[in-house]
Amino acid sequence: MLKILKWEIWGAVFISLFGSLLHFTFNWAGRFWLVGAFSAVNESTWEHLKLAVVPAIIWLLIERKTLKAEARNFFLAKTIGLFAMPILIVALFYSYTAILGDNFLILDIGTFFLAVIIGQIISYKIMKASEFSQKYNRACIALIIILMASFVIFSYFPPKFFLFHDPVSGEYGIVKNNNLRTCAMEAKICSDGSVVGRSGPNCEFAECPESGFANDYIEKAITNYLLTQKHFSWTIRNGDYNFCAVENLQSEKELFPLYLWAYCGEYIVLNGELKTISGTSGPVKIDYPNELSFYDLNKFSYEAPGDGVQYSEDVKRIFPEDVRQKIFNFDKDNIIRKIENVALTNILSWERIKEAINNCEVKTVFQAHSRDVSAELKNGDKLIGVEPELDDIIHLAVSVESKCGKIIMGTE
């Protein structure tokens, strides 16, 4: 039995290492269709099961010649152990992602290794048990053939089922090369603070939403100004993010004062979902000297109506008659969707920049007075986002110098 135990231990090592290689062999072979029969052809859950099943079948064939005399219930043991591996991978993967709300590479690898080890333990336990009837052998061999055949067939003709869905391409099975083009990880910050990336066959930037302002800089400058005013922006907890969105109530008006609806909020992202911590929403009059400038935030001023009984009187005093009607009939749904999109996009962009800096992927960083930041990666990609506080990206770049070396820094 010691010999069987050693072979099952070496089997776990073989399956784990060879299975890890099968994750890459399809691309290494230039995506040759025949290699897809035994290699992972995409990032779906089903294709990752192949990484355990194929090496386990190869090891089964090797063991059959070596352990023919010693092992009892060989085909029954290997069949149950073989089927246990993909079942455990699926069960463990979807259990931990349901609990944590996301998948993590280290846990994915851990579930794979754990399933392989348990499958080999099951196989060993059955092989050292009392001998079962040999009538199961043919059924076991048939099940193994069916299992392998299903992996081959579904690589080329996958069902439209969640196990077969590739989260990277959004498709099923072998994705055609012309659908695999990946655009550079670059982003463009729109005037309203939202971020759009490159997409489509030509990797062009998506269109920014219409701002309703005379030029692309006014809206960005106003939202940055509001973030400096305690009436609109405050933080209840350290580490939260503040964002503002505005909507022009007189879109045809180009000169200050401008009459806007402002929505400012404090947000965090938990398990990939945006959570609102606090916020304020209401009409505001924004004034600025009508001069050619880069919108110095110190030159802005605002006037907003008070709360309670004072609100209606202040609206009549501050805003012209045509704007008042829009204020009293204002639909907040659009501006809420707008600020939530701005918040989620910018928080995730900033978190990606932080991750890249901490992982020593960044070559240079740049920040503007508007808190817009960019990070050029060593592979040539460029990340763009908005830092929570001015100089956050500089402090972060300095903090990793001992680990990553000096990162080139630039400021506006």
Q: In this predicted structure, what is the pLDDT of residue 180?
A: 42
Cut 0.75: pTM above it: no
The alpha carbon dihedral of 51, 54, 59, 64 has a sign of positive
Q: In this predicted structure, what is the pLDDT of residue 411?
A: 84
Q: Which two tokens stand for residue 99?
A: 């609990």
Q: Which of 32, 48, 208 is nearest to 113 (CA)?
A: 48
Q: In this predicted structure, what is the pLDDT of residue 354?
A: 92
Q: In this predicted structure, what is the pLDDT of residue 216?
A: 67
Q: Which residues of the chain have pLDDT under 50?
A: 178-182
Exposed, middle or buried by CB within 10 Å (0-12, 13-18, 19+), for 143?
middle
Q: Which two tokens stand for residue 291?
A: 């001069």
Longest C-alpha distance within the chain, in Å? 98
The answer to whether 259 and 319 are in contact (CB under 8 A) is yes
Complete domains list, the chain, with CATH: 2-179 (no CATH), 181-208+346-412 (3.30.720.210), 216-330 (no CATH)
Encode 96-108: b = buried (16+ Cβ within 10 Å), e = exposed.
beeeeeeeeeeeb
Dist CA 373 CA 389 (whole Å): 11
The alpha carbon dihedral of 28, 33, 37, 43 has a sign of positive
